[in-house]
A and B are shown apart, each in its own frame.
Chain A
Amino acid sequence: MGVMRIGHINIRVLDMDAALHHYENVLGLLRADQDGDGNVYLRGWDEWDKYSVILSPSDRAGMNHIAYKVESDDDLDVLRRRIEAYGIEVEECPAGALPDCGRSLRFHLPSGHLMYLYAEKTYVGKAVSTTNPDPWPDGLKGAGVHWLDHALLMCELDPESGVNKVEESTAFMQDVLDFKLTEQVLVGPDGDIKAATWLARTSTPHDIAFVGGPVKGLHHCAFFLDEWSDVLKAADVMAKNKVKIDVTPQRHGITRGATIYFFDPSGNRNETFAGLGYLAQPDMPVITWTEDELGRGIFYHTGELNEAFTTVYTEGA
């Protein structure tokens, strides 16, 4: 019942040819479709729905929307009522409003980010089929990422003015969409200000994350890799292609993921995220990171927050 997982992200790009080289040849996503407006649809080889990334040509980098897939069509009716009861306006969009998807719910998170929920998307199957499959397909390009794993959204945080959109969006995800809070960063003189949160509906450490910053934005979207050796290879692929790497292979303290942060050719941050971290069962206690150990939470090895972490990101709507 309810939300299953991240379904797709719609990213705006300044140069489609450069973007396609990046998402197809560097990340290894497979092209699924292209529409008359120039939007291109892609997916990872291990995904079975038609697409998980929409690239849209634009003169502003950033994210248009993020979408999550719910288990059944009836869930949309239940969730619509819950979202409206929470005081958030919901628009019900007909099938096809999201290409290749059934009807969808369109609303804004308290942080202002545009989110959709849908129950159906055209099924195309994994690249390795479902009968006696090989562990990976031939012909994968670049890093060969498996799937869109999660996104981190920057939310306005200004405690002195009483603004904390991290807390508001987190509460919404927990109370209305039944996400589980797995980890949080608590800051401030009394250690009670939620400055960042990680939430899940799957049993992975996160399907979405929120971090406080000066303005709303897209911090990154992440693609899954199996293990550390895949991360090293992905970094080699990025170096070969002169991709701007923000943080070279390293481990996050939070979520335990093995990571690379890097930028697409329009400056949207991507991540390759390896490992399942831990089993985020509903009764797993929430993990808390304190302000003094925040650097280690984000970048476990160096223990230092990279200056770009909360200042370099693209628009969130």
Chain B
Amino acid sequence: MSDEAPCPVFDVRIADTGEVYQCPARETLLKAMARLGRKGIPSGCHGGGCGVCKVRVTGEVTTMAMSRSHVSETEERQGYVLACRCYPRGHLSVEVVGKLHKAVTRPRYGFV
């Protein structure tokens, strides 16, 4: 038997695809998705610095520091968060805002 208190687990629904995965309260939305091998939210630095995992969340969450380069205070009040800095406090729905490739439709020059 573990001495640790049981950790609540919440459903996270990715609105864009309708997929649902489970995220424990002690794990970030992005980490839980990646650990389960699931896709949907772009996965980047996992440190709140690069911004690719930006989502708009509906539901209760707590967040850690996120780079203001990617989430302004106004946006944060409107529910925009970086999934790598965000812990669920109830069942959630997220809408993916961040993108890995911003330029898929134009010719690429090596890296861009």
Interface residue stretch chosen among A111-119, A231-239, A259-267: A259-267
For B, the interface residue count at a CB cutoff of 8 angstroms equals 26
B67→A266 contact, CB < 8 A:
yes
The answer to the question of B7 belonging to the interface, with a C-beta cut-off of 8 Å to chain A, is: no
B45 touches A267 (CB 8 A): yes
Summarize B's interface: helix, strand, loop or mixed.
loop
A214 to B44 CA separation, bound complex (whole angstroms)? 16
Find out whether the CB atom of B50 lies under 8 angstroms from the CB atom of A312: yes
A-facing residues in B37-84 (Cβ within 8 Å)? 43-50, 52, 64-69, 84
Measured CB to CB, the closest approach of chain A to B34, in angstroms, equals: 9
On whether the beta carbons of B50 and A244 are closer than 8 Å, the reply is no
List residues 82-112 of chain B with CB under 8 A from any CB of chain A. 84, 100-103, 106-107, 109-112
Complex CA gap A307/B111 in Å reads 10
* A-side contacts of B45, CB under 8 Å: 244, 246, 263, 267-269, 312, 314
The segment from A127-135, A185-193, A274-282 found at the interface with B is A185-193
Interface, chain B (partner A; CB < 8 A): 43-50, 52, 64-69, 84, 100-103, 106-107, 109-112
A-B contact pairs, 25 of them (CB 8 A): A14-B47, A14-B48, A14-B49, A14-B65, A60-B67, A60-B68, A60-B69, A157-B112, A160-B107, A187-B109, A193-B109, A193-B110, A212-B110, A214-B103, A267-B46, A294-B111, A307-B101, A308-B44, A309-B111, A311-B52, A311-B100, A311-B102, A314-B49, A314-B50, A315-B67
Given A159-B109, A195-B112, 10 further pairs, Cβ under 8 A: A61-B48, A188-B110, A193-B110, A244-B46, A266-B47, A291-B110, A294-B110, A308-B44, A308-B100, A314-B49
